[in-house]
Structure 1
């Protein structure tokens, strides 16, 4: 084996030192030398509720902030959350309610940009089940309900809506069926009689006549009726520790998404759809635009947390999660608007 020169040894030691520091900080070594390289996991990147992630990239706002952002997709938000906790990614685009659930488990993550004031979720019932008498959530007894994944926000919301009708958890079943085509297949095959999903899947199933709406949480009025208040949902969340030690990067991310929310509030569904990849809408762009039009009111205009929203989310989770109810949650640690204002 050849002996290393002094310069080679110094280079090797430097590389090892950087990697060691990265490990000590709980960050991947690849990000130690260039912390403006950021990986964000999205809980289903083609869902309209998470559209701001891809739109920010398409508009060039990440680059404007000097960031190199890689977007990855994970069908269920709970899986994306696990990647964040493991330190494999720096941020997650998912539901804000995970920040509260995780704090109850001793882990601190915070939303630094909020995309949606409401869940954007719809509880669909198959046309077959509806014809057989499944008309409201009170008819869920003995049925199998679809969610994206166990531990996901769709599970949180589904349980709340059913439990509110006085139906015990043992009297209905939850089945993880993912989103998009896998959700559609689950309902068509009658593996689920109802399930929670988002646009554009909602628009597709209503157009084909395979499903009907049971609960619509795409609007403020529908969400107020179902949950009793605004329910901030889709957001960018990061580990509190990471945000504190990477304030410039956290602020750049928040700024980029804040600009995107302003763009959404001032542009048409048609203009936004033009910036989306073709595989987001396939052969039916008109249907995608229609779904997008129905969804635009749910987005925030600036990325800030809506007043009263965190309290509604805490109420919903506390209703059926004993660990959340007894945890004395500090909502101030579950989100921050500060990064939108500072840089």
Structure 2
């Protein structure tokens, strides 16, 4: 669902030499963009602008909070978080709205990025199983030999799928991950049998249920669901940025944090219908009721203050170490994967 309205797209970019990253980001920050050059220019890549799990990005723009901070923010979109991560590391954008777990993965590769605003304390993800095989797949224990949909290989849906499998006795080599994106491509794959099950978010979840092509197998849209599936809070959606850029542009980062924390507080005091009404009209794909319902189902995942949940980083590390050999054999400095400096000032 929500196939539409890509604000912009970047061409596939290769990783640039570390010494050139900050220079590229600085150049991008100084160019005028869609806002007509008013305010300080910042480019943020989102791993799917129309996904409810990343809703604070567009909502902040819709509420005018970026403008109020004197920022000219250009939101761009890639269908999977791993592609948004690549754009950040390549210096094409100053920030990424994506899953926090990428900060750990990147640290093992010598890339230092950190979450500066933590939108969530649960993944917001749902494992949907096709109605055609629902009798045969009743838990992740039944993943063996199956084709499992993920947004992209190396994405957070890929990470979480592998963890659920390994946790339930199925080795990573015993199932086939299939990159199917989200929205209509995911729904088509599920309907046609290209995948037996898959991990996705709202409103794709709501649409799959409405079309009666799938059933919920694992629901991680709430802190309780995260606890049951993953053993603790799982910080996911966040604004993460290159550490060097953060340290060199603290005023800009503070303005971004101010805007996002305002949005999270606004969300905590407004209904799903009120939030849906603020979003671009085409995000509802002609069904406002279904879109509001999708937002309501996902709202429990969001924080109210942008602060990293206690023990959240440890849960993420545990999940990644279960299947990722790079992280399993690496020493991760969790303190360098996030900062609360800016959200604490924003709250104050």
Q: Quick check: 1:73 aligned with 2:77?
A: yes
Q: Quick check: 1:174 aligned with 2:174?
A: no
Pick the aligned partner of 1:39 from 43, 52, 55. Answer: 43
**Alpha-carbon separation, structure 2, partners of 1:59 and 1:281:** 18
CA deviation map 1:265-301 (0-9, x unaligned): 0111111111111211111110111111111111100
5 Å matches for 1:295-306?
295-306=298-309
C-alpha deviation, 1:31, in angstroms? 2.7
**8 Å contact from structure 1 (residues 23, 29) kept in 2:** no
**8 Å contact from structure 1 (residues 41, 93) kept in 2:** yes
Q: Quick check: 1:117 aligned with 2:121?
A: yes
C-alpha deviation, 1:325, in angstroms? 2.1
> Which deviates more from structure 2 when the two are superposed, residues 226-235 or residues 287-296?
287-296
**Alpha-carbon separation, structure 2, partners of 1:95 and 1:146:** 18
5 Å matches for 1:213-252?
213-252=216-255
Which residue pairs with 1:84 in the alignment? 88
**Alpha-carbon separation, structure 2, partners of 1:148 and 1:84:** 18
C-alpha deviation, 1:208, in angstroms? 1.5
C-alpha deviation, 1:137, in angstroms? 0.9
Which residue pairs with 2:283 in the alignment? 280
TM-score, scaled to structure 1: 0.91
CA deviation map 1:63-90 (0-9, x unaligned): 1110000001100000000000000000
**Alpha-carbon separation, structure 1, partners of 2:25 and 2:139:** 47
Unmatched segments (≥5 aa) in structure 1 = 1-20
CA deviation map 1:95-116 (0-9, x unaligned): 0000011001111100000111
Which structure has the larger Rg over C-alpha atoms? Answer: 1
- Number of residue-to-residue matches in the alignment: 322
> Which deviates more from structure 2 when the two are superposed, residues 318-327 or residues 198-207?
318-327
**Alpha-carbon separation, structure 2, partners of 1:233 and 1:58:** 22
**8 Å contact from structure 2 (residues 122, 220) kept in 1:** yes
CA gap of 1:24–1:271, structure 2 versus 1, over 3 A, is closer
Q: Quick check: 1:266 aligned with 2:269?
A: yes
TM-score, scaled to structure 2: 0.90
**Alpha-carbon separation, structure 2, partners of 1:254 and 1:178:** 29
Unmatched segments (≥5 aa) in structure 2 = 1-18, 33-38
**8 Å contact from structure 2 (residues 69, 259) kept in 1:** yes
